[in-house]
Amino acid sequence: LDVSGLGSMSSIAVSYGENGPVFCGLNSDGSHMVTCFGADASVVYGAPFRLPLLGLTSGDSFVCGLQLDTSQPYCWGSNIYVKMGVPQPMVEGVSYSEISAGDNHLCALRKTGKGTSRGISLVDCWGYNMTASHEFRGGIAAITAGSVFNCGLFARNRTAFCWGDDTGSSVIGLTPRNMRFQSISAGGFHVCGILENSQVFCWGRSLEMQQSSSDVLGQGDVNMVPMYPMVSVVGGRFHACGIKSLDHGVVCWGFKLQNSVPPPKESKVYEIAAGDYFTCGVLAETLLRPLCWGTSGPWSLPIAVSPGICASNPCGPGYYEFSHVSFRVKICKPANSRVCLPCSVGCPEGMYQSTPCNLTSDRACRFNCSSCASAECSPFCYSGKKSKNRKVVSLQMPFILGELVLAAIAVTSVMLIACLYVRYKLRNCKCSDSELKTARSCTYSFHKESVKVRPHMEELKIRRARMFAYEELEKATGGFSEESIVGKGSFSYVFKGILKDGTLVAVKRAIKASDVKKNSKEFHTELDLLSRLNHAHLLNLLGYCEEGGERLLVYEYMAHGSLYQHLHGKDPTLKEQLGWVRRVTIAVQAARGIEYLHGYACPPVIHRDIKSSNILIDEEHNARVADFGLSLFAPDDSSAPLSELPAGTLGYLDPEYYRLHYLTTKSDVYSFGVLLLEILSGRKAIDMQYEEGNIVEWAVPLIKAGDISTLLDPVLKPPADLEALKKIASIACKCVRMRGKDRPSMDKVTTSLERALALLMGSPCIEQPILPTEVVLGSSRLHKKASQRSSNQSCSENDTADAEDQRFEYRAPSWITFPSVTSSQRRKSSVSEGDVDMKNLEGRSLANGGAGDGLRCLEEEIGPASPQEDLFLQHNF
């Protein structure tokens, strides 16, 4: 039996925590690979790439999967109590049949065999207050983990038992001794189970009181279970959701936060999983799309996920094997395994069961035509009985025809009125077709039609981007089909498309989320920035579309995908093909793009999300910096910090920005340093498969010790002369210095990299190798310097004021929120900054042996990190 919940194993999982919920699901293509979506970068980007998994479970800021090959758990995310990767300690060679995660722990049920005596079941747990092996007399059918407790179901008599900390929930004391369950699932402080008669019973603590703070206002008693028979139930923090037996519809009960999105009414689901206040289900329609609701919902994710976990035994009574014509590939990889789904029980009112549930399909229901008196059943009944009841039909024919004519007239009139209305609207308000601008600009456009005024500034800014109709982009991408997906971000999908004129484009489609404001901000930031910027190494925006809830950006198509795909993608030959000269060329070109943002764009721009997945490679193998969703306008004096809440991607985040919330162009320099280390070593910024998972912590001591060969990507043969790569390693080392002030500026980085590239290409006397795009641009350093001056000067007073405004207007939201630093800490830091002797600092760092010591320096400056911060720092730095 598969049960899914806050912590139980399922084909989908929902992690939660201070960085927001993340949905993870096993792909439906038989690969058993996991895909995650959400705001917590450590979970989204930490998800294993080539590791087939059988099932998933999740807790606070982490997700674990049961590995298909070894039957051992593998966890990712940023929970400090559960070791990421394979949990430790782990008995060698032991294998598990099920895993289940609580808030800060994971438990796994051992398969019988090695290390288990007859009649004894073993459950191994890891994490906060839980690391131990638990022995139980008798076979265990399933386990489930709550916040700080666990429960199991005995196989023989189907009774439940629980262990762990009972203080908050009383779950252990309240466990019903005589009830027999088909399955159980733990929530935060309660457990729900499906009894033998398919009714649900829940026990434990319920949050009934209304909380005082307005944003957590809510109510509902989780023990007040609806009376529907159910096939599956899952537990959230103080709520539960179940799938109804009758029609596979969803029903949720218990505590619900105010303003949270209700579960879908009409949709049927195959599988559900709950985070704390967030629940997701796999829709039982052909595409097997996930849908989430609750506090942060609704999310409708454009991927197909497995409707359940794969079982090696044939489906038992009450279950049928999932099969669907649209899935030509098998959902389960192991031979002779399948997804078993629970049969629906009974038929809705007015219907009878025409075919019982069998091995391959669910039961089917038909309308009872002898008692049909409603509009719902008549089409089915009359069409079915056409031959027999010809007389009845012929009598009714005039009425039916009359109704049809009336309906046609009504529909035509409505459409006509709608068309006239839209035309009227469009005539009156030119900008409303894009809905891009605010009501203010809409009023302006109205005036524009009647009184010829100067074009609005906003209009000018986006003049280079064309507005696309949604339909055109839908057509170009084959209806946003799965086959045309070329990449995914944490809140977007990127599709390849062909426009009517044959132009290849990449269409970035934001996932519809409830936080429309946030999405919209990022959309407009990117739109505004990209339509102002122009550089050979920045990704060109061709247009945009904003209709209803849809937000789409249209870019030039980059034939060779991202640098991330080359370095860490599924195809290992891509990495081998990316030789040293090509890697360093990409680094130089990306550096030029960033240098342009910092030094030549007016006002200067801080990208804030430099990473390998945002460096795209075009047909001619030139690099382009992409993804300006988080970018900000920097003050013209780019050394003056902005005080911004941290946003960006784990592993690339500047520690000074993270700790002090100081954002300058040097934050991009830090991320670029991480990118250089990634290019040199072929490792990901954070890769938990290594003992030292953080690239900076691993690489900086090696570089400082002069051990360059250990650093270099083992996939490539090292060049005959290591000098060039040594130089690049040293640049990377400087870029990732703890203090922004100690890092070089991007123009210095570019110059040094160009020299290193010349050296690598065997021409040490050429100071700067000419790269193909430079010739195209006709740019030269001298020209740049001059243009910098002129571009800075060209910032008229008005422009600057405008930019100032926009710095507020386009301030991106915090994607990763951390405890903020107090103003006194900030003051202390800014004082000490002036006092610190750079040489001493560097010497101290060296003496102490590496990047971790930089952290210590920072700690001395701003005081010790809070336990919370410490957790993050351990993972990120």
Supply the residues annotated as catalytic.
Answer: 609
- Tokens 């991202």 correspond to 562
- Least distance in Å: CB of 485 to ligand ATP? 8
- Nearer Cβ to ligand ATP (194/605): 605
At 564 the three-state DSSP class reads helix
Identity of the residue numbered 26 = L
Question: How far apart are the C-alpha atoms of 877 and 875, rounded to whole Å?
Answer: 6
Instruction: Give Cα separations from 568 to 27, 53, 572 (angstroms).
Output: 19, 19, 8
Q: Which is nearer to ligand ATP, 2 or 654 (CB)?
A: 654
* Of the candidates 474, 504, 506, 475, the residue with the CA atom closest to the CA atom of residue 493: 506
* Shortest Cβ 774–ligand ATP spacing (Å): 22
Check binding of 477 to ligand ATP (CB under 6 A): no
Among 175, 232, 565, 589, binds ligand ATP (CB under 6 A): 565
* Residue 557 touching ligand ATP (CB under 6 A): yes
720/356 Cα distance (integer angstroms): 72
Outline where 429-452 has alpha helix (H): 439-450
**CB of 427 vs ligand ATP, minimal distance in Å:** 35
The yes or no reply on residue 488 touching ligand ATP (CB under 6 A) is: yes
Q: Which of 42, 72, 296, 562 binds ligand ATP (CB under 6 A)?
A: 562
Residues whose CB is less than 8 angstroms from the CB of residue 149 and which lie 6 or more positions away in sequence, other chains included: 102, 162, 163, 164, 165, 166, 169, 171, 172, 186
Contact 314, 15 (CB under 8 A): no
Nearer to ligand ATP, 478 or 561 (CB): 561
Q: Which residue shows structure tokens 């243009």?
A: 787
Residue 486 vs 795, nearer CB to ligand ATP = 486
Q: What's the min distance (Å) between Cβ of 530 and ligand ATP? A: 11
Closer residue to ligand ATP in complex, CB, 562/773: 562
Among 489, 744, 813, 863, the residue binding ligand ATP under the rule CB under 6 A is 489
DSSP characters for 306-317?
-SS-EESSPP-T
CB of 552 to ligand ATP, least distance (A): 12
User: Does 42 help bind ligand ATP (rule: CB under 6 A)?
Assistant: no
Length of the chain: 877
Q: Which is closer to ligand ATP, CB of 279 or CB of 490?
A: 490
- Rounded-to-integer distance, Cα 813 and Cα 518, Å: 7
- Which residue, 53 or 626, is less far from ligand ATP as judged by CB? 626
671 near ligand ATP, judged by CB under 6 A = no
Choice from 4, 175, 492, 876 touching ligand ATP (CB under 6 A): 492
271: closest CA among 304, 313, 234?
A: 234
Q: How far is CA 715 from CA 515, 690, 756, in A?
A: 43, 16, 21
CB of 817 to ligand ATP, least distance (A): 16
Position with the least CB separation from ligand ATP: 487
Cβ closest to ligand ATP, residue 7 vs residue 497: 497
DSSP structure class, residue 418: H
Binding residue for ligand ATP, selected from 186, 191, 273, 506, defined by CB under 6 A: 506
- Segment contacting ligand ATP by CB under 6 A, of 115-123, 195-203, 556-564, 784-792: 556-564
Question: 3-state SS of 711-735?
Answer: HCCCCCCCCCCCHHHHHHHHHHHHH
Part of the chain binding ligand ATP (CB under 6 A), chosen from 76-84, 257-265, 431-439, 485-493? 485-493
The pair of three-digit structure tokens given for residue 661, joined into one six-digit string: 């919330």
Strand partners, 686: 694
- Choice between 9 and 685, CB closer to ligand ATP: 685
Q: Under DSSP, is residue 676 helix (H, G, I), strand (E, B) or coil? A: helix
- How many angstroms separate the CA atoms of 75 and 61, rounded? 11
How far from chain centre, in Å, is Cα 496? 20
Please report whether residue 569 would count as binding ligand ATP according to CB under 6 A.
no
Q: Considering the rule CB under 6 A, would residue 567 count as an interface residue with ligand ATP? A: no
Our CA angle for 607, 612, 615, nearest 5°, is 65
Q: How far is CA 367 from the centre of its chain?
A: 43
Position 490 contacts ligand ATP (CB under 6 A): yes
**What radius of gyration do the chain's Cα atoms show?**
30
For ligand ATP, give the closer residue by CB, 108 or 616: 616
716 contributes a contact to ligand ATP by CB under 6 A? no
One of 357, 558, 625, 736 touching ligand ATP (CB under 6 A): 558
Q: Which two tokens stand for residue 396?
A: 């009714």
For ligand ATP, the binding residues in 386-415 under the rule CB under 6 A are: none
Residue 553 CB, shortest distance to ligand ATP, in Å, is 9
Write each residue from 513 to 542 as x if it is in contact with ligand ATP (CB under 6 A), else as -, in one continuous string: --------------------------x---
Shorter beta-carbon distance to ligand ATP: residue 240 or 605: 605
Is 700 an interacting residue with respect to ligand ATP (CB under 6 A)? Answer: no
The reply on whether position 486 binds ligand ATP by CB under 6 A is yes
Quick note: the x/- pattern for ligand ATP over 428-467, rule CB under 6 A, is ----------------------------------------
For every residue of 2-39, DSSP letters joined together read: ---SSSS-BSEEEEBSTT--EEEEEBTTSS--EEEEES
**Nearest of 746, 749, 709 to residue 725 by alpha carbon:** 709
Strand residues in 512-668 grouped as ranges (E): 541-547, 550-556, 605-606, 615-617, 623-625, 632-633, 642-643, 662-663
In the complex, least distance from residue 554 CB atom to ligand ATP, rounded to whole angstroms: 9
By CB under 6 A, tell whether 510 contacts ligand ATP: no
Residue 340 and residue 513: Cα distance in Å, rounded?
Answer: 31
CB of 11 to ligand ATP, least distance (A): 23
Q: Binders of ligand ATP: how many residues, by CB under 6 A? A: 24
DSSP 136-159: EES-EEEEEE-SSEEEEEETTT--
CB of 509 to ligand ATP, least distance (A): 9
Q: Which residue has the tokens 């809705």?
A: 348
Report, in Å, the least distance between residue 23 CB and ligand ATP: 14
CB of 178 to ligand ATP, least distance (A): 50
Q: What is the DSSP letter of 695?
A: H
> Would you say 245 or 565 has its CB closer to ligand ATP?
565
Of the candidates 508, 551, 583, 661, which one interacts with ligand ATP according to CB under 6 A? Answer: 508
Q: Which residues 603-632 are close enough to bind ligand ATP by CB under 6 A?
A: 609, 613-614, 616, 626-627
| Cα separation of the two ends of the chain | 41
Q: Could you list the residues that contact ligand ATP (CB under 6 A)?
A: 486-490, 492, 494, 506, 508, 539, 555-558, 561-562, 564-565, 609, 613-614, 616, 626-627
